Structure 1
Amino acid sequence: MTLHTTHLGDDGPRVVFLHGLFGQGRNWTQIGKALAESYRVTLVDLPHHGRSPWGEEFSYLHLADSVAELLDAEDPVALVGHSMGGKTAMAVALRRPELVERLCVVDISPVTYRTGSEFAGYIAAMLGMDLGALGGRDDADAALLEAVPNRTVRSFLLQNLRRDGDGWRWQANLDVLGRDLEVLGRWPQEVDALEPYPGPVLWIAGERSDYVLEEYAPAMERLFPRVRKVTVKGAGHWVHSERPEVFLEVLQRFLAHR
C-alpha cells in the first residue's frame, strides 16, 4: 500500500508528520511550511484517510508498516504523530528503531482508551448525510449542525468531504473506522512487548486534554526511557492547531538539539 505524501523543503534532516483520526497530511501544512527552510518535510495521509488507499480493517501494525515503507534506515527521520498518528509513530519507532532518529508524540499515550460515543456519533452523522442532496458545503455544514454543534469540529470533519464528478464523497473510510473504533482506541500488545526505543522522545500534551495523564507516564517511560514531556497551556487535544506558535517553538527546539 503506497501512501499519499506531500513534500516541503529540499535540504536538511527529514521530518515526517502523521495526522490523527479524520485528519490528513495537509493538517500539518502550517507547521510543515514553517520548517521547510531548514528541513525536508513529509506530510503523510495514513491508510483510510485523505488520498491514501483504504483497507479491509484498521490495525496499528498495518499503519506502522505502511509508514515504514516511506522511510530509509540510511536517512532516519524525526517522526511526529498526533493522536492516532502518535500511536502509529510510536509503533514505527518500537518496531523499526533504525528508521527513526527521534520521535515526537502529540497528545496521546501508549495505553488503551475507552473509545467514546463522541467519535461513533460523528461517524454516524457523516454516514447519515444524504450526499446526493447536497448543493454545496454550506448544505453539508447545515446537515451536520445538530449532531456536531461545535463549529471547529464540524469544519474539521467536513475537510473529508470531496467532490466526485457531480456529487460528493467522503475521503475517510467511515465504514471501517466506525466498525473498528474499539481497535483504534487500543494500544497493541504486540508492540507493548518490544524492547524500549533508544532515541530521544518529545511528548507534547495539551493542558486541557485527558489523553496524557500522570497515570500514563509509567507506560510511556517504560517504552521510551529518553522521553521529555512538555504541556502546552491553554491547549486541548489538537495542540498544534490550537496553539501553533507554541507548538512550533517547542518542536523546533527538539529538532535542533543534537
Structure 2
Amino acid sequence: MSLHRTELGDSGPRVVFCHGLFGQGKNWTQAAKALSADHRVLLLDMPNHGRSPWTETFDFLELADLVAAEIGDEPVALVGHSMGGKIAMCLALRHPELVERLAVVDIAPVVYDSGREFVGYIETMRALDLEALESRGQAEAALEEAVPNRVVRSFLLQNLRRTDDGWHWQMNLDLLGEHMAELVGWPGERLGDASYDGPVLWVGGARSDYISDDHAGEMDRRFPRNRRVLVKGAGHWVHSEQPDVFLEVLRRFLP
C-alpha cells in the first residue's frame, strides 16, 4: 500500500507530517511551505483519509508500519497531530532508527474515555444524501444544525469530493465509525516496554483537555527525553488556531 504524498523543499533535514482524524496531508501546507526553504518536507495522507488507500481494519501499529514504509531509510523529524500523533508515537517506538526526533501535537500515549463527538460527526456525514447533493454550499447548509461550529464544518467538508460519478466522502467513514474504540485507544500492552530515547516535543493547546498532568507518567516512561509546551489561545487544533506560534515552537525544535 502506497500513501498519497506531497513533497516540498529541495534541501535540508527531512520533516514528515502526520495529520489527525478527518484530516489530510494538505492541512499542514502552511507550516510546510514555511519550512521548505531549509527543510525537505513530506506531507502524507494517512490510510483511510484523503487520497490514500483504505484498510480493512484500524490498528495503530499497522498504520505506523505503513507510514514507516513511506519514510525510507533516512531518519526524519516526525510531527503528528491527534490520531497522527498516536501513529507517530507508535512509529517511533517500533522503528526508532527512522525517527531523529518527534513532535506530538495535543495527544498523549493513553486511552481516552470516549469518542462520542467524533461518532456524531461521522453519523452526520454519513446521513448526508450525496445522490441528491447539487453543490458544496448545499452540503454545508445540511450540516449546519448538527455541526454549528463553522471552522469544524469547513474542516469536515474538505473531505467532500466531486468526481465524474458524483459526490463522495474521501474518508472511510464506515471503518472509522466502527473502530472508534481503537481510535481513542492506545496499544500499550502490545508495545511492551518499548521506549524512544530521541528528543520529543509535546505541543498542547492551553484550552484543550487532551493532555493533562495525569498523562505525564506514561509520557515520561515511553519518551524520557520529552519537554512540553502549552500554546495560549489554542484548543485541540493548535497548528490551525495559533499557526504562527506553533510554527515558531516547531522551528526551535527542528534541526
TM-score, structure 1 as length reference: 0.97
Cα 1:192/1:213, change in 2 over 3 Å: farther
* Corresponding residue number in structure 2 for 1:71: 71
1:34 equivalent to 2:34? Answer yes
Runs of 5+ consecutive residues of structure 1 not aligned to the other structure: none
Equivalent AA in structure 2 for residue 247 of structure 1:
F
- Distance, in Å, in 2 between the alignment partners of 1:53 and 1:146 is 31
Equivalent AA in structure 2 for residue 100 of structure 1:
V
- Distance, in Å, in 2 between the alignment partners of 1:3 and 1:194 is 29
* Corresponding residue number in structure 1 for 2:111: 112
Runs of 5+ consecutive residues of structure 2 not aligned to the other structure: none
- Distance, in Å, in 2 between the alignment partners of 1:191 and 1:30 is 35
Equivalent AA in structure 2 for residue 171 of structure 1:
Q
TM-score, structure 2 as length reference: 0.98
- Distance, in Å, in 1 between the alignment partners of 2:51 and 2:90 is 22
- Distance, in Å, in 2 between the alignment partners of 1:191 and 1:224 is 16
- Distance, in Å, in 1 between the alignment partners of 2:241 and 2:190 is 30
4+ runs deviating over 6 angstroms: none
1:201 equivalent to 2:200? Answer yes
1:223: how far off?
Answer: 0.3
1:71: how far off?
Answer: 1.7
- Distance, in Å, in 1 between the alignment partners of 2:171 and 2:165 is 19
What is the aligned length?
255
Cα 1:191/1:203, change in 2 over 3 Å: farther
- Deviations along 1:36-87, one digit per CA (max 9) or x if unpaired, are 00000000000000000001111101110100101233x2000000000000
Percent identity over paired residues = 64
Report the RMSD for the aligned CA atoms in angstroms. Answer: 0.9
- Distance, in Å, in 1 between the alignment partners of 2:146 and 2:117 is 10
- Deviations along 1:12-45, one digit per CA (max 9) or x if unpaired, are 0000000000001000000000000000000000
Equivalent AA in structure 1 for residue 184 of structure 2:
G
Could you tell which deviates more after superposition, 113-122 or 41-50?
A: 113-122
- Distance, in Å, in 2 between the alignment partners of 1:92 and 1:165 is 37
Equivalent AA in structure 1 for residue 44 of structure 2:
V
* Corresponding residue number in structure 2 for 1:228: 227
- Distance, in Å, in 2 between the alignment partners of 1:132 and 1:212 is 40
The answer as to whether partners of 1:114 and 1:182 remain within 8 angstroms in 2 is no
1:115: how far off?
Answer: 2.3
**3-state SS of 2:147 partner:** coil
- Distance, in Å, in 2 between the alignment partners of 1:191 and 1:169 is 35
1:146: how far off?
Answer: 1.1
